[in-house]
Amino acid sequence: MIAEAGLAALWLAAALALLQLALAWFGLVGGKDDLLSAMRPVAVAQGMLTAAAFLLLITLFVQSDMSVALVATNSHSMKPWLYKVAGTWGNHEGSMLLWVTVMGVAGAAVALFERALRRDTHMATLGAQAAISLGFYAFLLFASNPFARLDPAPPDGQGLNPLLQDPGLAFHPPTLYIGYVGLSVAFSFAVGALLTRRVDAAFAKAMRPWVLAAWIMLTLGITAGSYWAYYELGWGGWWFWDPVENASLMPWLAATALLHSATVLATRDALRAWTIMLAVVAFSMSMVGTFLVRSGILTSVHAFAVDPQRGTFILGLLALYIGGALALFGFRIGTVREGAQFELVSRETMLVVNNLLLTVILGLVLIGTLYPLMTEAFGHKVSVGPPYFDRIVGPITLVLVIAMAGGPLTRWRKDRAKAVGGRMLIPAIILLAAAIAVSALAWGRIGVLPFLGLIIAAAVAVGSVAPLWKRNLRRTPLFTWGMVIAHLGCAVSLAGMASDSAFTVEKLVAAKPGETISTAGWTLRFDRIVPVAGDNWTALQGDMTVWRGNGAPIAIHPQSRFFTNPPTTTTEAALLTRWNGQLYVVLGQEAERGRWQLRIWWKPFVTLIWLGGIMIALGGALALLGRERRGWMMKIRKRSALA
Partner 1 sequence: MKRALIWLPLLLFLAFFGLFASGLLKPDNRIIASRLVGQPLPAFSLPAAASDRPALASAQFATGKPRLLNIFASWCIPCAAEAPQLMALKQAGVEIDAIAIRDARPDVDRFLARYGNPYTRIGLDARSAVQMALGSSGVPETFVIDGKGKIVHQHVGDIREDDVAGILKILRDAR
Site pattern 224..253 for partner 1 (x: CB under 8 A): ------------------------------
Cα–chain center distance at 199: 27
Nearer to partner 1, 238 or 313 (CB): 313
Q: Which residues pair with 590 in a beta bridge?
A: 596
Nearer to partner 1, 307 or 628 (CB): 307
Among 226, 295, 300, 536, binds partner 1 (CB under 8 A): 295
Stretch of 82-90, 166-174, 190-198, 295-303 lying at the interface with partner 1 (CB under 8 A): 295-303
Nearer to partner 1, 383 or 569 (CB): 569
Sign of CA dihedral 317, 321, 324, 327: negative
Among 148, 305, 319, 429, binds partner 1 (CB under 8 A): 319
CB of 135 to partner 1, least distance (A): 16
Told to check if 428 binds partner 1 by CB under 8 A, we report no
Site pattern 30..69 for partner 1 (x: CB under 8 A): ----------------------------------------
CB of 115 to partner 1, least distance (A): 31
Whether the CB-CB separation of 321 and 128 falls below 8 Å is answered with no
Sign of CA dihedral 370, 371, 377, 380: negative
Residues 6+ apart with CB under 8 A from 232: 163, 166, 168, 570, 573
CB of 573 to partner 1, least distance (A): 18
Told to check if 305 binds partner 1 by CB under 8 A, we report no
Told to check if 148 binds partner 1 by CB under 8 A, we report no
Nearer to partner 1, 105 or 247 (CB): 247
Nearer to partner 1, 220 or 292 (CB): 292
Binders of partner 1 among 557-616, rule CB under 8 A?
A: 569, 589, 592
CA distance 196 to 203: 11
Binders of partner 1 among 117-146, rule CB under 8 A?
A: none
Nearest 5°: CA angle at 369, between 367 and 374? 65
Q: Which residues pair with 598 in a beta bridge?
A: 509, 587
Least Cα distance to 426 among 451, 457, 452, 460 occurs for 460
CB of 331 to partner 1, least distance (A): 9
Among 116, 333, 360, 399, binds partner 1 (CB under 8 A): 333
Sign of CA dihedral 331, 332, 337, 342: negative
DSSP assignment letter at 512: -
CB of 440 to partner 1, least distance (A): 44
Stretch of 251-259, 305-313, 444-452, 533-541 lying at the interface with partner 1 (CB under 8 A): 305-313
CA distance 488 to 95: 33
Q: Are strands 537-548 and 559-563 parallel, antiparallel or unpaired?
A: antiparallel
CA distance 255 to 279: 7
CA distance 62 to 79: 10
Nearer to partner 1, 312 or 564 (CB): 312
Told to check if 154 binds partner 1 by CB under 8 A, we report no
CA distance 71 to 153: 10
Whether the CB-CB separation of 129 and 107 falls below 8 Å is answered with yes
Sign of CA dihedral 27, 28, 33, 38: positive
C-alpha separations of 26 from 125, 197, 198, 297 in Å? 14, 17, 19, 40
Least Cα distance to 70 among 51, 53, 87, 49 occurs for 87
Binders of partner 1 among 79-118, rule CB under 8 A?
A: none
Whether the CB-CB separation of 582 and 500 falls below 8 Å is answered with no
Told to check if 382 binds partner 1 by CB under 8 A, we report no
Stretch of 78-86, 138-146, 368-376, 534-542 lying at the interface with partner 1 (CB under 8 A): 368-376
C-alpha separations of 145 from 139, 281, 327 in Å? 8, 28, 31
CB of 374 to partner 1, least distance (A): 6
Among 55, 296, 360, 540, binds partner 1 (CB under 8 A): 296
Binders of partner 1 among 253-292, rule CB under 8 A?
A: 273, 277, 280-281, 284, 288, 291
CB of 377 to partner 1, least distance (A): 6
Told to check if 383 binds partner 1 by CB under 8 A, we report no
Told to check if 370 binds partner 1 by CB under 8 A, we report yes
Nearer to partner 1, 590 or 628 (CB): 590
Least Cα distance to 130 among 177, 192, 211 occurs for 192
Nearer to partner 1, 569 or 577 (CB): 569
Q: How many residues bind partner 1 (CB under 8 A)?
A: 32
CB of 326 to partner 1, least distance (A): 4
3-state secondary structure 555-590: EECCEEEEECCCCEEEEECEEEEECCEEEEEEEEEE
C-alpha separations of 129 from 123, 135, 587 in Å? 10, 10, 49
Read off the amino acid at residue 13. Answer: A
Nearer to partner 1, 151 or 592 (CB): 592
CB of 240 to partner 1, least distance (A): 19
Told to check if 312 binds partner 1 by CB under 8 A, we report yes
Nearer to partner 1, 374 or 636 (CB): 374
Nearest 5°: CA angle at 252, between 249 and 258? 150
CB of 414 to partner 1, least distance (A): 25
Among 327, 417, 433, 508, binds partner 1 (CB under 8 A): 327
List interacting residues with partner 1 (CB under 8 A): 273, 277, 280-281, 284, 288, 291, 295-297, 308, 311-312, 315, 318-319, 322-323, 326-327, 329-330, 333-334, 370, 373-374, 376-377, 569, 589, 592
